[in-house]
Structure 1
């Protein structure tokens, strides 16, 4: 797959990823906009009660909110819509204009490791620059849709882009964890209807991963292997391929929750093989399409790639996709109220086994529709 690197008018990087059979020219128009200066790097503050770092990114208040299709900032630029992407494309990745974590242009990047030292030390009034990088991954020039609505070829290109960017971002000074994800639906809080995802590169290991490290240290290094073996033989299994298995987890927090695990150990998407990426494009898309057959309207979700830290626990923490949705009925959402939001103590509304049964039915429906469409194509 072809890859083209360029620079936007304010200095941000943009990378084009072309489909395997793309007909697009290798030449891409330059960004001729006159943009305001990039915002200052956000600041992190330490919560001494939990040890969590909180990024205070004021520039995010100015980001675009649900614009009309003719002013879509992820559509290819036109004279009437000077968007973030100057030319036509298959998949495009670029630095976020208002990032939660970004480069500190006032200092040399090689100083990042030193400036982010001692992040695990608890003290009062601690601040650090929110160093890292936030990127937008535009799945398509179409102004509506999601990963599940992509063609198989385009889904494969997106996966290639995520793997490529995981490798590149993991090598940046000061980056400790790389997190690709997709938010879908206004109930999740999306601000653009355009099919897209994001990649956050954190200067620390995230709280969820810190808890996971504790679990591995308590259980042993075979935790992911044993979970996979148990679920492959259980009633919550949804799909099993040559390289990946999808299942509803034993202790699901959300009304809809699907985990996708590779059959061999790998720390992140960059470590996947061509064959694993090929199967992933099919299975990932199939699961997301099935979610929209549960009810009469599209189901909101978060699709989150949990990857190992860049510098440790690479042999213990296995790559995992977690897809979650707050939708607990056709017209009901699960809100994080007192117990979950205040204490982190979750209460499930639906049994994981019931969710697995419903999802298997939705997967069968999706398969029948896909087969019928292929027969009439």
Structure 2
């Protein structure tokens, strides 16, 4: 993997990644000449025992512009720069101009609940220069590079003393709130481990202490042994499946077969097989609907600081659909109680996805 680190005119950082050497003469453009100086803050939710981030400046971020004003396209006219330079690169990562968390946050306002400065970091990950492509249409080797990029960013951000957890994710489709159609994702670096991965870590540690082996490792072996009823991809090193406990129709998990806690512990072969597994899932999504399938994808790795026995790197994908023409939205029991009610069996939805033929490029 080759990379080139640059600085934008407004002070934000840009890193270009490629499978080939990158021209060191490239310059980092920006649609903005001056820094924004965002100042998010946190407020404590006493009943839930968790922080809520407030970043009012995000109301001004770019929202579904026409193609000619795509800020994630490469710059073609220096008089009207975008976020990215023209050149031979595959993946780009830059500081989000409209972050929910930032290391520059200061002076949290007083309130009737405890408050704190919104420390952290937010990055935008542009998957490809092609605005008409998608994650599932990228070559396997490109996806393997992206997985390596996620690892590099998680390692870099996780080394900062005030960062406890790093989460790469993608929102795809306006149905799940995307504001730019160009294939991209985000990375959030949090000052403490958020509630969802914190609980995952607790469950994995408890299972390891009781059974002497990892929780996801056990789940994967059970899925394989259960006549592969919910498996979508089974490779030598990676696997993708509809979990028996899926909370959403068509929910899919992707993981290495051996326990790997963090991206940086993956080898080249691991990344390639994970790329095949992920591409298989995304092609099945689009093939089932015969159109781009909206989803939210998050990659869960171990917290940045310290040792966390039992952690198993994996992705979870949640499409919002029950059927091709009906959305699954969070309703009373899910939002109010956190108790999901699903009107579709995981086995039935797995069978639908299994029936979609997929051809990988390698």
Fold similarity call, TM over 0.5: yes
Kindly state the Cα deviation for residue 299 of structure 1 after the two structures are TM-superposed.
Answer: 1.3
Query: Using the alignment, how far apart are the partners of 1:191 and 1:312 within structure 2?
Result: 35
Indicate yes or no: 2:208 matched with 1:220.
yes
Aligned to 2:66: 68
Q: 1:312 to 1:343 in 2, by over 3 A?
A: farther
Cα displacement (A) at 1:145: 2.7
Give 1:195-274 correspondences, 5 Å limit: 195-221=183-209, 222=213, 223-234=215-226, 235-274=229-268
Contact 2:30 2:83 in 1 (8 A): no
Partner of 2:275: 281
Deviates more, 1:145-154 or 1:237-246: 145-154
Aligned to 2:49: 51
1:3 Cα offset (Å): 0.4
C-alpha displacement of 1:158:
1.4
Change beyond 3 A, Cα 1:164–1:218: closer
| Cα displacement (A) at 1:309 | 0.9
- 1:145-203: per-residue Cα shift (whole Å, max 9, x none)? 32101123322221221111111111012111110111111111101110111111011
User: Could you say which residue in structure 1 is the equivalent of 2:135?
Assistant: 147
Q: Is the 8 A contact 1:232 1:245 kept in 2?
A: no
Deviations 1:20-59 (A, max 9, x none): 4x6x533212437652332333101110111111110111
Alignment match of 1:171 (pick from 159, 172, 177): 159
8 A Cα contact 1:70 1:81, kept in partner: no
1:334 aligns with 328
Preserved CA contact (<8 Å) 1:152 1:281: yes
**Counterpart for residue 96 of structure 2:** 96
Inter-partner Cα distance in structure 2 for 1:45 and 1:320: 30
Is the Cα–Cα contact under 8 Å of residues 240 and 278 in structure 2 kept in the other structure?
A: no
Residues 257-285 of structure 1, C-alpha deviation per residue, up to 9 Å, x if partnerless? 11112122221212111110121222211
User: Which residue of 1 is the match for residue 82 of structure 2?
Assistant: 83
Structure 1 residue 298 corresponds to structure 2 residue 292: yes
Distance 1:164 1:289 in 2: 26
Which of 157, 181, 184 is 2:172 aligned to? 184
**Contact 2:38–2:98 under 8 Å retained in 1:** no
- Asked if 1:317 corresponds to 2:317, the answer is no
Q: Which runs of 5+ in 2 are unaligned?
A: none
TM-score between the two structures when normalised by the length of structure 2: 0.91
Per the alignment, do residues 334 and 127 of structure 1 end up closer, same or farther by CA in structure 2, a change over 3 Å counting?
same
C-alpha distance in 1, partners of 2:139/2:80? Answer: 26
Query: Is this contact kept in 2: 1:243–1:276, CA < 8 A?
Result: yes
Q: How does 1:112-127 map to 2 (within 5 A)?
A: 125-127=113-115
RMSD: 2.1
SS at structure 2 position matched to 1:259: strand
Secondary structure of the residue aligned to 1:6 is strand
Q: How many residues align?
A: 352
Q: 1:30 to 1:251 in 2, by over 3 A?
A: closer
Query: Matched residue of 1:220: which SS?
Result: helix
Counterparts of 1:335 and 1:258, CA distance in 2: 17
In structure 2, how many angstroms separate the alpha carbons of the residues matched to 1:68 and 1:140?
18
TM-score normalised according to structure 1 size: 0.88
Structure 1 pair 315–245 and aligned structure 2 pair: CA distance change class (3 A): same
The 3-state SS of whatever aligns with 2:251 is: strand
Deviation at 1:314, TM superposition (A): 2.1
Report SS of the residue matched to 1:292.
helix
- Which residue pairs with 2:6 in the alignment? 6
The alpha carbon displacement at 1:218 in A equals 4.1
